Amino acid sequence: MSVAGSVLVGAAAVGAGGLLTLLHRTFVAGLALQAVGCVLLAFGGLWALVADETAGLAFTSAFDPRVGVDALSGLFLGILGAVGVAALVFATRYLEPSGKGRTIGALTGLFVLVQALVLVARDPLTFLLAWEAMTLVPAAVILVSRADEPARRSVFFYVALTHLAGAGTWVAILLLASEGAIGDPSVIASGSGVQVAIALAALVGMGAKAGVMPLHVWLPLAHPIAPAHVSALMSGVMIKIAIYGLVRVLVEWLGVLPEWLGVLVLALGALSSVAGVVYALFQHELKRLLAFHSIENIGIIVLGLGACLLLRARGADAWAAFALAAALLHTVNHALFKSLLFLGAGSFERAAGSLELDRLGGLLRRMPWTGGAFFVGAVAIAGLPPLNGFASEWTTLQSLLHVPAYGGVADGTAAAIALAALAATAALAALCFVKVVGLVLLGPARRDAVAHAEEAPGAMRAGVVALAGGCVLLGLAPGLLFGSLVGLAPWSAEAPTTVGLDLPGTGDFRSGGVALALAALVGALALVRGRRVAARAPTWACGQLVERQLDWTSAGFTKPLRLVLEDVLRPEREVAVRTEGGVVTEVAYEGRVPHHFEERLYRPVTALAMYGAHHARRVQGGRLGVYVAYLLGLVLVVLAAAKLGVLG
Amino acid sequence: MSGTAAAATAVQLLGGIALAPLLPGLVQHWKARLQGRRGPTPLQPYRELRRLWGKSAVDVEGAGIVYRLAPSVAAGSIAVAVLLVPVASDAPDLGVGRDALVLAGLLALARFAVAASSWEVANGFALMGASRDLTIAVFVEAALVLALAVAALVSGTTDLVAMIAGTAGSAAWSEPALALGALAFALVVVAETGRQPVDNPDTHLELTMIHEGPLLEYAGRDLALLQWAAAARHWLVLVLAAQVFLPHATDPRVQLGLLPVLLVVLCGALALTEMLVAKMRILLAPRLLGIAALVALLGIVTWLVEAA
């Protein structure tokens, strides 16, 4: 079977499976068929990537619907398929075959299909239509799954923002089409006005869809309220498709961009990664925390893209290709561990009833499979060796480090600042995920319901465990994929062929050697430590009694950082002490870290818009006579203008 | 493998694994002397390790696999870091690569394991130490990566062996970049070894400790592994300080010969700092390390201006 056949049959299977999902009797079979379709999509896509094969038609600037697959589309089809399989297998038990569940199941298939359509679109029309549908389908899923007031408001916000900012995508694609530059980088001159305009429009439109700060505010609203498997597809795949768009436009179709644009992209990446993880730290609900981490990881990917643009502008083609590959490798890695974490969160929510971090605890013991896979995902997203997150963060760090080696003072300094930002981001992510695994998986259960949580059913376990396997595999042998990713650069670049990451100008990250040495040494030390146990003792805690009231909370664990960053974060806290006759009877504490982008940037804008709309309403009197008067006035103005010769 | 390469490997492995406890021992010994006390002998850490090794571990009730594995993971990842960090400019690759940034990852892994274990025991003091350690680590990692970046730019690669060679001799030191990187790295050394003014290794007073906090519940072999890991951290950062961030010879034989002298001098410097400087308020430590990051950044800018 060829690439085209595999992708087509896969898409057909997803579609047919979606229809079967609508019927009560074939519900599970429908989801399974969708999963099989995803396997075929992933297979076809990865084949196109590894064999560097193209199928179907080539890109055109004409409004003439056509589809095709090349290696870059193949990579993202591979991501879509891989995450899709895990999410759909998970969904077979996660969704109930009720009316609501069946609709969500069918819409999941539609969501996969429209994303695949964006990836295979080869003309502006198909691309833009699929792009818009990709925004709307998850909105529909959220509205089907829950129709309460906050959810409706969040969906409104999501659709409004992605459409307003999404205009940038239209501007970019239509400008490219009118220049005839879709699929042809030789058309637009480097440094020309139209090149800059397209690049900026794409950054706004696709950046908003990816969740790049400061256009990210929809993401932490929309992602947490979707059903777990759709959250996984949104965070794991949908925002990555915006990265696909950015790579197509910025790297492939626009040729060499001016340096200041590379610096701008770096700045956006650094802002998103640091601010994303800092706000994630102060979230106390698991899915919302994970949504903020998506912003952080998109920031890391954008840092890689920025390094690529700068290195390309400096003529360092080999490292520019490595930087692009670093960004794409992190795209794959984030797709794996973020969908794993979202699916795991879905299982925890089922088992424990809530995802409030302070009210979970000890789930690793109650749910060893889901909990263990979640732990792997947490270590991976914290960017620690020997898992995949470290491999891609290492290559991104190396790419940034090589910018000053080729660059001038300004872009070299920008890259050095980005380097520090990425190092700090990794450490902040480690802090955040120590908190998450501690509060969710480790320690005592903090509620009775959590103490009796049951392990998720087999299908739900299989989804997360498979994704954890992917994280381990790409951690051990990132070179398996990295070579193909280097080959995706539109300029010629030599790809390394080792399973580790042996790049020139580095000391080589021998991922396999490091993992093997770690496993051997840790195993040996654990054996030496032995099972000899003198006593099982209660927690000593310097003699202090360990009580449930003294349990550490999410807010407590992040307090040192909150104090250090007080000037930037401006946390709000309120302590109300009630006394009766000089005796304290009740102390109420409330603290929160406000989301400044929302409150300082967006709220004034929306308030102004509402104010404007309120006053504009006066114009709309609703009486026929008034409108006739407007028309008359307009005619008079036009006539007067014609008389004065203004109209020419 | 040439004679010096074999010697360098031997020094790297023996020194990193067996001699590492001597370094904190020397610091403690001299610190006591400087304070007018007789103090413990420099071999005291070995005695403690022997005593702890003879005892069995304690499993805290309700604690699971993360608690039991954390000391092994911490010590294991530090041991891999010992394999990674060469002591001379012709040391061979021991199968884990030679990359400076991988070192940062391994140090972070050890930190993650210990911090995660403190949630298992639900000991408030352990968690306090862990959260402080991870908070300060944010700034330490930024400073560490930038300081390594200065040396990497000067020598043109992040390969540690090439970095030792690239910063050797006097030419690399004719520009201020490397000196600024060294200044930043000095503060990283203080933070990574858990010494004053960032942390006080002597204190077991609950409210002031950072690195000691998450170790509170451990005993026996677990504690021995964690203490060895802390000593090996001294070895890693001091070797880097001596062979990259201090002026050193170009000949690997001279580098090897002078290494013990430099390490002893650096231990003395740590002891002197400990005596002269009081521990900072915890919330000021990130500021200090932020300054370290800025100094390293200044080093990179200087290098860029020189190169332009």
| Of residues A427, A540, A552, nearest to B216 (C-beta) | A540
Q: Which of A326-340, A618-632, B100-114 has the least mean pLDDT?
A: A618-632
8 Å CB contact of A428 and B138: yes
Q: Which residues pair with A572 in a beta bridge?
A: A592
Number of residues that make up chain B = 308
Q: Which residues contact A501 (CB under 8 A, 6 or more apart)?
A: A391, A394, A395, A478, A479, A482, A508, A509, A511
Give the sign of the dihedral formed by CA A133, CA A138, CA A144, CA A149.
negative
Residue A545 in this model has a pLDDT that exceeds 80: no
CB-CB under 8 Å, B65 with A560 = no
* Residue B27, token pair as written in the block: 């610091």
H helices of chain B, in order, are 3-10, 22-34, 44-54, 65-84, 100-121, 124-155, 160-166, 176-192, 220-240, 252-276, 285-307
Contact between A437 and B77 using a beta-carbon 8 Å cutoff: no
Q: Is the pLDDT of residue A621 over 80?
A: no
Cα(A194)–Cα(A484) distance, rounded to whole angstroms?
32
Hunting for tokens 């005993």 — which residue is that? B219
Residues on chain A touching B305 (C-beta within 8 angstroms): 409
pTM confidence score: 0.93
| pLDDT for the residue numbered A74 | 92
- For A420, the closest of B65, B109, B142 (CB atoms) is B142
The residue among A279, A283, A297, A278 whose CA lies nearest residue A212 is A297
Cβ separation A385–B109 shorter than 8 A: yes
Tokens 């502008």 sit on residue: A313
pLDDT of residue A633: 93
Please report the pLDDT score of residue A426 as a whole number: 95
Q: Which residues of A touch B225 (CB under 8 A)?
A: 525, 529
Question: What is residue B207's predicted lDDT score, i.e. its pLDDT?
Answer: 64
Considering only CA atoms, which of A485, A497, A326, A512 is closest in space to residue A401? A326
Interior angle at CA A426, CA A425 and CA A432, nearest 5: 85
Cβ–Cβ contact A398 with B under 8 A: yes
pLDDT band at A569 (very low <50, low <70, confident <90, very high): confident
Average pLDDT, chain A: 89
pLDDT truncated to tens, each residue of chain B (308 aa)?
A: 688 889 889 999 999 999 999 999 999 999 999 989 988 999 999 999 999 988 888 888 878 889 989 999 999 999 999 999 999 888 888 888 899 999 999 999 999 999 999 998 878 888 888 999 999 999 999 999 999 999 999 888 999 999 999 888 887 788 788 999 999 999 999 998 888 888 877 766 656 678 888 888 888 889 999 999 999 999 999 999 999 998 888 888 888 889 999 999 999 999 999 889 888 888 888 999 999 999 999 999 999 988 87
Average pLDDT of A582-594?
84
In this complex, the residue of B96, B108, B304 whose CB is nearest that of residue A514 is B96
Q: Considering CB atoms only, which of A431, A443, A534 is closest to B135?
A: A431
> In this structure, what token pair is assigned to residue A205?
């439109």
Report percent pLDDT > 90 for chain A.
Answer: 47
B308 and A409: CB-CB below 8 Å? yes
A372 touches chain B (CB under 8 A): no
User: B157, A505: Cβ pair inside 8 Å?
Assistant: yes
Q: Is residue B187 a contact partner of residue B142, using CB atoms and an 8 Å limit?
A: no
Q: Inspect the interface and report whether the beta carbons of A526 and B69 lie closer than 8 Å.
A: yes
> B147: nearest CA in chain A?
A420
**B145 and A539: CB-CB below 8 Å?**
no
B97: left (phi over 0), alpha (psi -120 to 50) or beta: left
ipTM above 0.90, yes or no: yes
pLDDT at A316: 87
Judge whether A26 is closer than 8 Å to chain B, CB to CB: no
Query: What residues in B contact A391, CB-CB < 8 Å?
Result: none
Residue A536 has pLDDT above 80, yes or no: no
Distance of alpha carbon A270 from alpha carbon A272, whole angstroms: 6
- Cβ contacts of A532 on chain B, cutoff 8 Å: 56-57
Bridge partners for B57 per DSSP: A533
- Residue B294 CB contacts under 8 Å (≥ 6 apart), including other chains: none
Strands B57-60 and A533-537: parallel
Residues 352-371 of A with CB under 8 A from B: 362, 364-365
For Cα atoms B119, B120, B121, give the angle at the middle one, nearest 5 degrees.
Answer: 95
Residue B123 or A342, more confident: A342
| Nearest CA distance, A461 vs chain B (angstrom) | 20
User: Looking at chain B, which residue has its C-alpha nearest residue A514?
Assistant: B96
A259-317 pLDDT per residue, tens: 999 999 999 999 999 999 999 999 989 999 999 999 999 999 999 999 999 999 988 88
Residues A401, B118: C-beta atoms closer than 8 Å = no
